[in-house]
């Protein structure tokens, strides 16, 4: 084919760089790993692929490190493009697909490792968390390849896997996803890694993951609460209250903190601030500083088109005097929500801090069942300001600001990390918990 001199637009370059930096922050890439690709129309109306150059640092791409290729012809002379270009080319030929990404999703990769003789066909990975089940389905294919990078076997198998599933994993290497847009592809990667993180955390706490998977398969409705929202393709820069400069800055700061602190995967979670008759609402609360997410002004009263998550925000405001609400899909809390103390048959209904700061802030944090009603959740939020819903994420409330309500899921993550770490070391959590927690 004859190459034409294409220029990378500033908007495209900024998107590639921003998501490259986001990958580094979320620790699903190293400095040079992974690749990103999108399909666009060239000036003659033909499909064109833009893909990152092999070995490039995705967070600091030069324009020359985004390669322009035909969507239908293989050009063996274009050596700069990723070694997995043929895989991306085939993925992008799937109807409706406009973007593909590959990343070293460490938690999912570790969760799918085994030491069995090779060659072998690993079992599918089954998420136990609501985000994974909703966005990725009840399983993610896992494949082993003798040459797990750019091999002909991968080029044949991976696009085939992605015809019917949004994500697929290579044992010991990482994950490929396909999506409509590049931000949506990144969203799927973080959700996939989050699913691996929940499984790893549950295993560290002694949870029988295989028994839990069987129980979920038998009765999914008993294990998952309010369903996560579908991915919103609307403009990430959309803002319904541009004149509210101070609160706008608070939303963006809190969204960046949620993302950077890994309180919820990219473009998941939600947060809101009560107005007089309106609600200022971020439906994709986990927002890297350079990417952002939509910010809405919606009526405080319930409406027919409200998602289940937004409806619960409005219910909390209708029944309380709280001024802020935040909801996060915190993987450590999701894993801990299935914890049983050694020797006990029942899942614990509380998380008790064993660290100094956590114990100072909270006596206990309640863990509520998936089928909890709104009244019980609201009563728990009145008493504790934060609650974990098994299969439904972490809910927190505040009386003043987003900064105040952000403190709760942020503190809860550390509380869970300390408990998981202590349990890993074989320590007796009962002995470490404050005695007054027994009288909550």
Task: Work out the angle at residue 378's Cα, subtended by the Cα atoms of residues 187 and 216, and round it to the nearest 5 degrees.
Answer: 50
**Strand segments (E) across 56-117:** 66-70, 99-103
pLDDT at residue 33, as a whole number: 85
pLDDT at residue 440, as a whole number: 66
Tell me which residues of the chain have a pLDDT lower than 50. 1-6, 76-79
| Tens digits of residue pLDDT in 297-306 | 999 999 999 9
Return the number of other C-beta atoms located less than 10 Å from residue 176's C-beta. 30
pLDDT at residue 69, as a whole number: 81
* Helix, strand and coil percent figures for the chain, each rounded to 5: 40, 20, 45
Q: Let me know: does 281 contact 300? Beta carbons within 8 Å.
A: no
> Cα separation of 82 and 91, whole Å?
14
Q: Residue 83 contacts by C-beta under 8 Å, 6 or more apart in sequence?
A: 54, 149, 150
- Helix, strand or coil for residue 175? strand
Cα of first residue to Cα of last residue in the chain, in angstroms, is 72
- Phi–psi pair at 47, nearest 5 degrees: -70, 135
Instruction: Tell me whether strands 350-351 and 324-328 are parallel, antiparallel or unpaired.
Output: unpaired
pLDDT at residue 76, as a whole number: 43
> Cα separation of 11 and 109, whole Å?
32
Q: Let me know: does 207 contact 352? Beta carbons within 8 Å.
A: no
Run of H or E residues at 314: helix 308-319
pTM for the model:
0.94
Q: Quickly tell me which residue has 């499909």 as its tokens.
A: 47
pLDDT at residue 2, as a whole number: 36
pLDDT at residue 53, as a whole number: 85
Q: Let me know: does 414 contact 422? Beta carbons within 8 Å.
A: no
> Cα separation of 133 and 121, whole Å?
22
Q: Residue 323 contacts by C-beta under 8 Å, 6 or more apart in sequence?
A: 273, 274, 398, 399, 400, 401
């Amino acid at each position: 084919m004859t190459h034409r001199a294409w220029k990378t637009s500033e908007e495209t370059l900024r998107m590639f760089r921003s998501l490259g930096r986001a990958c580094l922050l979320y620790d699903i890439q190293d400095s040079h790993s992974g690749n990103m690709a999108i399909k666009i129309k060239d000036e003659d109306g033909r499909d064109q692929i833009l893909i990152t150059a092999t070995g490039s640092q995705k967070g600091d791409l030069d324009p020359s490190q985004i390669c322009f290729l035909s969507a239908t012809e293989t050009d063996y002379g274009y050596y700069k493009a990723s070694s997995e270009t043929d895989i991306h080319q085939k993925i992008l030929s799937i109807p409706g697909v406009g973007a593909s990404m590959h990343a070293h999703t460490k938690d999912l990769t570790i969760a799918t490792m085994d030491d069995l003789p090779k060659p072998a066909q690993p079992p599918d990975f089954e998420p136990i968390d609501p985000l994974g089940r909703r966005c990725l389905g009840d399983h993610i294919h896992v494949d082993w390849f003798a040459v797990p990078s750019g091999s002909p076997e991968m080029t044949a198998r991976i696009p085939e896997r992605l015809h019917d599933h949004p994500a697929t994993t290579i044992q010991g290497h990482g994950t490929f996803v396909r999506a409509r847009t590049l931000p949506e592809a990144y969203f799927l990667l973080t959700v996939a890694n989050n699913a691996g993180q929940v499984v790893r955390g549950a295993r560290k706490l002694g949870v029988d993951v295989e028994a839990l998977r069987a129980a979920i398969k038998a009765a999914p409705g008993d294990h998952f609460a309010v369903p996560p929202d579908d991915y919103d393709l609307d403009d990430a820069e959309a803002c319904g209250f541009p004149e509210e400069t101070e609160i706008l800055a608070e939303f963006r700061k809190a969204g960046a903190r949620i993302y950077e602190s890994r309180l919820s995967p990219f473009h998941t979670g939600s947060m809101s601030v009560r107005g007089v008759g309106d609600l200022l609402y971020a439906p994709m609360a986990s927002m890297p500083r350079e990417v952002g997410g939509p910010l809405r002004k919606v009526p405080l009263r319930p409406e027919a088109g409200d998602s289940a998550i937004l409806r619960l925000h409005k219910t909390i405001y209708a029944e309380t005097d709280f001024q802020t609400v935040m909801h996060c899909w915190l993987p450590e809390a999701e894993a801990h929500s299935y914890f049983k103390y050694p020797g006990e048959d029942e899942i614990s209904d509380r998380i008790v801090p064993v660290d100094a700061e956590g114990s100072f802030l909270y006596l206990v944090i309640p863990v509520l069942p998936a089928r909890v009603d709104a009244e019980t959740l609201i009563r728990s939020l009145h008493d504790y300001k934060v609650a974990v819903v098994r299969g439904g994420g972490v809910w927190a409330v505040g009386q003043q600001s987003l900064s105040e309500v952000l403190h709760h899921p942020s503190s809860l993550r550390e509380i869970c990390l300390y408990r998981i770490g202590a349990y890993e070391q074989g320590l007796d959590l009962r002995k470490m918990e404050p005695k007054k927690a027994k009288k909550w």
